[in-house]
Structure 1
Amino acid sequence: MAEGNNGETVRPGRAGSVPPGGRLVERDHEERLLDELLRGLRAGRSALVEVRGGPGAGRSALLRRAGELAAAAGVRVAGAQACWEETGVRHAVAAQLYAALAPRASPLVGELLRPGAEEDGALTGRLCRAFLAAARSQPLLVVVDDVQWADRESLRFLRTLARRLAGAPLLLVTARSDALPPGPGERIELCPLADPRVVARHAVDLAPLSAAGAGRVLAEALGEPVEPELAAAAALAADGNPAVLRAMAERFARPGRPAAQGREARDGEARGRDARDREARLLRCAGEAVRDRAVRTLAVLPEDLVEVLRAIAVCGPHGSPAMIAALASPRAVDTAQALELLAGSGLLAPGERPRFRAERAAEAALAGLGAERREHLFARAAELANRAALPDDALAGMLLGARVIGAPWAVAVLRREAARLRVAGDPAASVRLLRRALREPVGPRLRVELLTELGVLALPGSPESSDRFLRQALLAPADASAGPARVRAADLLVARGDYASAVPLIAGAGARPGVGDRERAALRALYWLARHGQDGSAQEPHRPEPAALPERPDDPAEAGAAAWLAALHGRDLTRARELARAALSPAAPDGTSLTARVAACHALLLTEDVAEAQLGLDAVLARAHRANAPAVIALALLIKALATLGEDRAEEAERLLERAEEALPERCWHPQVAPGVRAVRTLARLARGDLDGAERAGAPVRPEEAGGSMARAFLAYARGRVRLARGDGAGALGELRECGRLLLARQMANPALLPWRSASARALALTGDDAGAAELVAEERRLALAWGAPRTLARALRAAGDAGPEQGGEPGREPAFGTAAVRLLADGPASWQFRQALVAMGTAAVSGLGAIDSLLRSGLAPAGPVLRAGPPAPVPVPDPEPVPVPDPAPDPAPAPAPVTVAPPVPGGPRPVAGAAAPGPARPDLTAAERRVAALAAEGLANRVIAAELSVTLRTVELHLTKAYRKLGISGRPELARALGRDERNENGAPVRPAA
């Protein structure tokens, strides 16, 4: 603030840099004040003005402007510049002033500069009389810059002169850095008895430049107006300091800057890019200006003060004067005096603890040190800070630049601060701290833990670095205590999808001596999970290869892997369910592999225990959040999205995908797994009817995603479904066949995973290949029967009935088979395996056969051919064969009407519950011939019969030929009557002979 001598408050102005040949920026008020005071000298009114501001705030520029105004007003000027080097030189400032007042040689100048000049008031009095006499002859302006560095004798002279201003028209203007406020004996004050109307006093504080002022400085340097946003950025970068702004503007205006011409004609996006580029370049120029200013200042400072500045740079804002003294140990001056001298340099910010104003200035202070000396200085600072119990952030900052400490506290501090920064959302800083911790001597287990933590923290910014850290954790020498840490590293490596690296490393880690049984079992489970998920072309035997998973594993991780593999292969639903439940049991150890738990949840989805799978995934998510495993979190959310898609909740699936994207962006997935994420997103959008969005989500395969991974099969299936919904049968068939090829190469035949056969059948029907479509549907129905999950089975049976727009179905749904294929499948009977499976699963009571037929036809589109509603003709029961009997599913399909069993025919085989009653016994036909003949009598083509019975087409033809010969008939038209079947019309109703 500026205060008048009579107590009035003068509004503060803004000081700035002097444009060449122009006025100061944002100092109209100060200029008017000086002009008024200079005019008042003509009327005999004197004044005392003190200008205050930080280094670079424009104090010297304001004093130069005062000299220009004085010259224009006919006022004589005497000026002096104090400096800290001459602080101890007596009368240094007074001699400069007197020499400016009396340029000719004067005896008084010699007396002022003579060594050992008197220290009493006689010389000071002679000086005052000389200046007052000169002012009486002509109004006088006396200006002293950086008065804080004035020597004691000159300061006494200025104080004495200020008390006598009423005796002559004299304007005394001093400039002082506010970094060094005056002490009690250094204040320059007026005489208390002076008349305010004769002598005025003003204090002017120079404020930083505003954004508008910074814009003026930039515009003058560039020769053109600048955007308000750029001006605001410049003011913020320079902290409103005019000196820094001027240096910044000069650098910014050098050749090579972005051209400003034609910006108006460019589009908004291009202008936005230009603005961002200009702002980034401006900030670089600001940093260079601050650094150069610091370098120039350091170049003129004595070594003791430079050492103090280096100690301040090492300690940062937390260094106390005692720590700085212990580090710097100045010889010529004590630390307190050094800090006082440095306060006026403009490098340090005001406050109790010394610190640099700008980070670039601190870097400049340390730039001259060699690497060894710098590390030694940081290490000493860290040890002092540890003894002083400074906070972890201060200690960690010092340890980053220090040599190896070799003490346990260093690693503990770095880990704690890394964890805090991770929670604060700065993983890059956490990675730097943990990498520094690895330089310290640590034990085997701690090294593996640090590498694993680095793998987690590096994942968002650099997935490749994350995998590299995890691979190092598996390769690092370790003892038995490092087993759990290694399992976690392998778990995270597999969860992100780096299967190619994980397979050999896990195999090697599990074969090392000293690995515990539990850790070895967990590594074995992760090995087989990675082995079945990786690119088929990259699978090579690894020596030594872990043993195969046991049939009934005791370890939860092995149980989860075994359940997943059994479910993918479509074998033994009951065993897969039991193994998955064992892996997710609450009694399982907390350290059980999270990826194996996710695999067990996926297995439960395939066994259609959806509620249990959802609960298991929620438990895995809770554990993964506590363990800070973003890859596992994203993987679990991806499986949850699949579960919700199976329940026709597409919007919920997309919300889960968004959460997975937050946990692990798609770019962070390994290329072998990333196609699976896109596949689920494609299916979710397709389920909502957004064909365009689904097509964008399943965009062409990227080069790094090409290969034979399981995720690639998912993407091929999703792309095939989209093409099918577009009516592109040929394109869909290519994608779906690729999906089938990738899955069958791994023996993953379970249609519960991906029903690619029925989708391929729809594509074949669009191309006119109805026979091939029927064969694929029959194959999927057979595999669904072998698996035994009710919803998978129902989906396989409904495959022929989902009508598309051309059949009158809903828009966006996939097209159905051609009419011939629908009739072919619809007219065929339910196989004996399916009837036995229905009974074994307990989905139908033993009360009749018609209800089973109604179940088989439920879900078929009414627009297709009408299926026969009556009971099917009797089908010969084959010889007893072992049929897998799955457990009842917890969420079975709706139970059909009661099923009754026809009474046995005397002399015939015992009927199977739920199977069609056999016709008259034909002892001349073998069981296989009766089975083939019964299916042919129902109208099934030979190819469909072969697929239904899992035999070759030639076998069917041979059985039919023998049956014709034994029955004495010539072909199919007579087969039904020869077997004792009723003739039926096209709707399946029995044809009654005319009365």
Structure 2
Amino acid sequence: MLIGRQRELATLGELTRHAAPGTAVIVRGGSGVGKSALLRRVLRRARADGQLVLCATADSLDTPADFGVVHQLLEHVAEEQLDETVQAAIADFQAPYRAAAALTRTGRRVVLGIDDLQWADTASVTWLGRLLRRLDGLRITVVTTMGPEVPSGDEHSIGTLLPLFRHRIWLTPLGDTEVGELAEAVLGTEPEPDFVTACRTATGGIPALLHALLRSIRTHGAAPDADTGADLARYVPAEVGRTLQARLRACGPDAVATAEVAAVLAGSPTPTADLIACAADMPQPAVEDSLHTLTATGLMVRAEGGTAFSCPVLSVAVANEVLPSRRQELHARAARFLIDQGAAWDSVVPHLLNAPLGQEWAIDALLRAADEAMARGDRAAALGCLQRALREPLPDPVRAQALASLGEAELARCVPSAVHSLRRSLDLATAPGEQAAAARSLSAALFTLDRYPEGLDVLEHVSERIRAAGRVDALRLEIDLVYARLSRTSTAASAMPRLMAMDLAEAEGTLVRRPLAALLSLRSIMDGGNPADAVAYAQQAMSGGVCPADDESFVYTAPVLALAAAGRSDLALAHVDATMDAVRAGGSALRSAYLSTLRAGVNYRVGNVAGCEADAHAAVESLRGVGAGPTTSHSVAMWTDALVKQGRTEEAEQLLADHGLMGRLNPHWANDFTALVRGRLRMVQGRAREGLADFLHAGARARTRRMAGPAVLPWRSEAALAHACLGEHEEASALVEEELTLAQAWGIPEVTGVALRARGVITGGSAGAEMLRESIRLLEASTARFSYAQALADCGALVRRNGLPSAAWSVLQQAVSVAKQCGAIAVEAFALEELRAAGYRAESRASRGLEALTRSERRVAKLAAEGMTNKEIAASLFVGLRTVEVHLSKAYHKLGISGRAGLAEALAA
């Protein structure tokens, strides 16, 4: 109990042994800080030193008895066998000085110890006051303890004593260091820092509470780690509650009721006096008086918005003593009061969740609270409200809607659980709109789990069921159905007739217009489509964002892909970023994975290798976190592609293997791209024949969806390069010519640039170099920076092989620069190797730019930029004028400027 009190113990020991005659010291502090233990230790040491020790403990139950404390002090005097004169003096309670003087005639130092002075009776306080005023010269040390507050009504008794104590010691709660020492002493092992902090917070650093809590933790065999620290409430021992009940009863029945209600309703925000009064069915003034009393005892403290227990353990201990049925009743009253007061739902919900079953008003409140929580993105709160509401006997329509909302909330945590709730919702739904919404949500969850046949069955069955009753709802459901069919090689052909027949006019004046535009943007990048339509449809589709709150659906992936294929990756990125910003605070893990995958795809298109890797990695982790595998997501393939571009081929292969993507690929269209990326990996690994097979497989899959054009998947140019590597030039030329023709027909420069780059590499010689220069020209103005870096590197390499090494330098240097900006380490390394092969030797430091300046050049340039003349600079630096001129000349050259006019701007760059 005295860990962390060594300094106070030493101070008191010194005062009881060596202090001048007539010393009085008071030890103060909150309840449980160790005042009594400290006093007992000091008195025990004084007795061992041969001093005459007389002690007493004041008790609130004994307060009415006159001289109760004095009786305790002197009741053991008879054991000291003092002479009759001394005993007679002591027996005269009206003359405390005579009694004290008589005691000192024994020749021993006298120590009087009084614990809990605040509970002493008035007569004893008066007696002590008289003694303290005449204590000088007597070999007596008085040591008392007292709480932090002067008891109400005692201002003229105990309050008058306080100035008479010349020495005052305040015991404050223990800090983390002392709590850690105490935990190690009790538990026998060194605790984790998080556990220590949790214990200090829970107990307020009060030693008595710490001891009780730690002993309980030891009894339960729990480890002193962060997990235990996060669940300390379960370890609060019953003995603490029983002790507190005894203390509360001493404060009166109103204080007991007030404390119990405050403990049961404890949380954030702190329960106010009017809330406690309503829940306890007590007059508010009585509650306020009780709170004042409890504050005076140190059990409660003033807190923001009200009065709270001084530490969480006290609150838990008191609440544990309240019967469960009583706790439920208190929470119900609190919830009704807060609702009537128009309180925020987040303050009502904790009480609603703990209210008893069978109250109709609570059902409505729980469902309203769930809607509000979902609206602000607090899916955990929504989940709790819905689960609690579903324990009630709800009508089928209400239960169906609650289950649908529960499924949406569960998508943030566990997709398999969401599937269960959404399926139950669909079974109960009767209105066409509700059935369509439930079917779409259920199918999306099933697709996330790669249970495509089940998801398609749900969409098809419900679509047929509601077709006659709800035309708009059926159309909305059909849009997702067509999109889902397109995503499987086995069902894509069956979706084509309906897709080709669809027209935006079908959805005119309805909310279905946006998702239909999203689907039509996909149709626009299929064979026979055109970029202008793709952009127009995509813009209409994403007018509400990529994840519109009123129509979340995987169909909005289509306009992002359409914009990228139409050469507007910048626009696609803007839409995705805006949606991510809008849903960042309260988005589910599944939505986060969806958006991260979309942004990874756009980063892949623009050649931001590091961004692509980061987003794809985040998507994979988010999917894993909700129990969904990413095998039907582009995220793993994009992550792999980013690793390949950085030369991390072993990691790339392991990533594909870890996700089961090195063997037969399932028919989802995400794996069209996976096949392409796997082919790139195998080409880098020198496995050209396997790489070629993957490229051709990607093309065959894409053809089933009529999306074999190079704007979506440039498989032909990749396969042509693989054929060329294998010496199969006729096949290579045929494929690259086909891609170039399709690219030129599509009319987007970056798509044509990619095809020209492959054609130039395959053609070789001066003709090939000219094709590569044209590819560079097209790609330079596009957002496809990785493709631009590739074309530069290939062009420089071909020029070098054509016997013009010095002519290749500038192109290869540019390739290095662009590849570095992209994070394409493999291309950068290739370009650097080609530079060395071309005879280029880079200087040890940069020859151009700010970093190329020496310290002296930078100093001279800075002064010149500030407006100093050459002569002034020379004088300032104590150098010759010629030296300044030389430094400035070199600085101008390295910074690429002609004179002082551009110096300030160049230095600030």
User: What residue number does 1:752 align with?
Assistant: 711
Is 1:149 the equivalent of 2:119? yes
Which residue does the alignment assign to 2:51? Answer: 75
1:208 equivalenced with 2:173 (yes/no): yes
Question: What is the CA–CA distance in structure 1 between the aligned matches of 2:393 and 2:191, rounded to whole Å?
Answer: 55
Matched, 1:125 2:94: yes
Give the aligned partner of residue 316 of structure 1.
Answer: 266
Instruction: Sort the Cα spacing of 1:645 and 1:349 in 2 relative to 1 into closer, same or farther, 3 A.
Output: same
Distance verdict in 2 for CA 1:748–1:471, change over 3 Å: farther
SS of alignment partner, residue 502 of structure 2: coil
> What amino acid is aligned across from residue 320 of structure 1 in structure 2?
T
SS of the equivalent of 1:141 reads: strand
Which of 110, 116, 123 is residue 140 of structure 1 equivalent to?
Answer: 110
After superposition, residues 38-187 of structure 1 pair within 5 angstroms as 38-40=17-19, 45-87=21-63, 92-102=68-78, 125=94, 130=99, 133-137=102-106, 139-163=109-133, 165=135, 169-178=139-148, 181=151, 183-185=153-155, 187=157
Do residues 243 (structure 1) and 208 (structure 2) align? yes
Distance (whole Å) between structure 2 residues aligned to residue 619 and residue 209 of structure 1: 49
Contact 1:474–1:509 (8 Å) recurs in 2? no
Structure 1 position 251, deviation (Å): 6.6
For the residues of structure 2 that align with 1:289 and 1:626, how far apart are their CA atoms?
34
TM-score by length of 2: 0.66
Distance 1:476 1:721, change over 3 A: farther
Structure 1 residue 723, shift from structure 2 partner: 1.2
> What aligned pairs does 1:941-980 form with structure 2 within 5 A after superposition?
none
User: Which runs of structure 2 are paired with 1:852-931 in the superposition (5 Å)?
Assistant: none
Q: The residue matched to 2:334 in structure 1 has which SS? A: helix
3-state SS, counterpart of residue 94 of structure 2: helix
Q: Distance in 2 between matches of 1:722 and 1:566?
A: 30
- What aligned pairs does 1:13-52 form with structure 2 within 5 A after superposition? 17-18=1-2, 25-40=4-19, 45-52=21-28
3-state SS, counterpart of residue 708 of structure 1: coil
Match of 2:75, SS state, is helix
Report the secondary structure of 1:50's partner residue.
strand
Q: Does the alignment pair 1:418 with 2:418?
A: no
Q: Once the two structures are superposed, what CA deviation does each residue of 1:942-981 show, in whole Å capped at 9, x if it has no partner?
A: xxxxxxxxxxxxxxxxxxxxxxxxxxxxxxxxxxxxxxxx
Q: Secondary structure at the match of 1:204?
A: strand
Distance 1:340 1:775 in 2: 92
Contact 1:313 1:362 in 2 (8 A): yes
Q: Which amino acid aligns with 1:679?
A: A
Instruction: Decide whether the 8 Å contact of 1:291 with 1:360 is kept in 2.
Output: no
Aligned residue for 2:76, secondary structure, equals helix
Partner amino acid for 2:260? Answer: R
Q: Does 1:550 align with 2:509?
A: no
Partner of 1:116: none
CA distance in structure 1 between the aligned counterparts of 2:225 and 2:550, rounded to whole angstroms: 50
Is this contact kept in 2: 1:490–1:523, CA < 8 A? no
Per the alignment, residue 486 of structure 2 pairs with: 532
Residues 860 and 526 from structure 1, CA distance in 2 versus in 1: closer, same or farther, beyond 3 angstroms? farther
Kindly indicate whether the alpha-carbon contact (under 8 Å) linking 2:397 and 2:428 is maintained by their aligned counterparts in 1.
no
**Partner in structure 2 of residue 570 of structure 1:** 527
CA contact 2:25–2:142 (8 Å) conserved in 1: yes
Please say if 1:381 is aligned against 2:334: yes
- State the one-letter code of the partner of 2:265: C
How far apart are the structure 2 equivalents of 1:321 and 1:574?
Answer: 67
Instruction: Report what 1:596 is aligned to.
Output: 555
State yes or no: 1:394 paired with 2:347: yes
Distance 1:73 1:433, change over 3 A: same
Residues 230-254 of structure 1, C-alpha deviations (whole Å, 9 max, x = no match): 8777656654333344456667778
Worse overlay, 71-80 or 390-399: 390-399
Q: Residues 285 and 584 (structure 1 numbering): CA distance in 2 closer, same or farther, change over 3 Å?
A: closer
Listed as ranges, the gaps of 5+ residues in structure 1 are 1-16, 19-23, 107-121, 258-276, 810-821, 827-857, 867-995
Q: Distance in 1 between matches of 2:139 and 2:537?
A: 100
Cα deviation, residue 743, structure 1: 3.9
How many residue pairs get matched? 747
Instruction: Give the drift of 1:28.
Output: 2.7
Deviations 1:889-908 (A, max 9, x none): xxxxxxxxxxxxxxxxxxxx
Q: Say whether the 8 Å CA contact 1:800–1:860 is kept in structure 2.
A: no
Q: 1:682 is matched with which residue?
A: 640
What amino acid sits opposite 1:364 in the alignment?
Answer: A
Equivalent residue of 2:167, what SS?
A: strand
After superposition, the Cα gap between the structure-2 partners of 1:621 and 1:226, relative to the gap in structure 1 and judged at 3 Å, is closer
1: distance between equivalents of 2:585 and 2:43? 70
Judged with a 3 Å threshold, the aligned counterparts in structure 2 of structure 1 residues 750 and 451 are, in CA distance, closer, same or farther, namely: farther
Write the distance in 2 (CA, Å) between the matches of 1:171 and 1:431: 64
Q: Which moved more, 1:557-566 or 1:650-659?
A: 650-659
Q: Which residue of 2 aligns with 1:701?
A: 659
Q: Secondary structure at the match of 1:570?
A: coil
Question: What is the DSSP-based 3-state SS (H/G/I as helix, E as strand, rest coil) of the residue aligned with 1:394?
Answer: helix
Deviations 1:406-429 (A, max 9, x none): 44883487358736974xxx7544
Secondary structure of the residue aligned to 1:57 is coil
Distance 1:147 1:672, change over 3 A: same
Asked whether the 8 Å contact 2:63–2:120 carries over to 1, the reply is yes
Q: How does 1:291-306 map to 2 (within 5 A)?
A: 291=237, 294-298=240-244, 300=246, 304=253
Unaligned runs of 5+ in 2: 83-90, 508-512, 772-793, 803-909
Is the 2:151–2:296 contact (alpha carbons within 8 Å) kept by the matching residues of 1? Answer: no
Give the letter aligned to residue 333 of structure 2. Answer: R
Q: Distance in 1 between the 2:438 and 2:92 partners?
A: 84
Out of 675, 679, 682, which is 1:716 matched to? 675
1:509-908 alignment runs, 5 A limit: 509-510=462-463, 511-512=465-466, 516-533=470-487, 550-554=501-505, 555=507, 556-557=513-514, 559-560=516-517, 562-563=519-520, 566-567=523-524, 569-573=526-530, 577=534, 580=537, 583-584=540-541, 595-608=554-567, 635=594, 638-639=597-598, 641-643=600-602, 645-648=604-607, 650=609, 653=612, 667=625, 670-671=628-629, 675-687=633-645, 691=649, 694-695=652-653, 698-702=656-660, 707-740=666-699, 742-744=701-703, 746=705, 748-767=707-726, 795=754, 799=758, 801-802=760-761
User: Match of 2:142, SS?
Assistant: strand
Residues 370 and 256 (structure 1), Cα distance of their counterparts in 2 relative to 1, 3 Å cut: closer
Deviations 1:588-625 (A, max 9, x none): 99956664344134234435565765676677668767
Q: Deviations over 1:434-466 (max 9, x none)?
A: 544666899999878876665565555444445
66-75 vs 153-162, which deviates more? 153-162
Give the Cα–Cα distance (whole angstroms) in 2 for the partners of residues 285 and 364 of structure 1: 14
What are the Cα deviations for residues 525-583 of structure 1, in whole angstroms up to 9, with x where unaligned? 1122223335859x9999xx997673324223464354355357524448964883584
Following superposition, the deviation at residue 676 of structure 1 comes to 0.7
Q: Which residue of 2 aligns with 1:838?
A: none
Supply the RMSD in Å over aligned alpha carbons. 5.5
1:311 Cα deviation (Å)?
Answer: 0.6
Which amino acid counterpart does residue 559 of structure 2 have in structure 1? Answer: A
Q: Alpha-carbon deviations, 1:352-404, whole Å to 9, x = none? A: 94423343443333335554443222101222334455554432332232235
Corresponding residue of 2:309: 356
The structure richer in helix per residue is 2
The structure number with the bigger radius of gyration is: 1
Contact 2:260/2:319, CA 8 A, preserved across alignment: yes
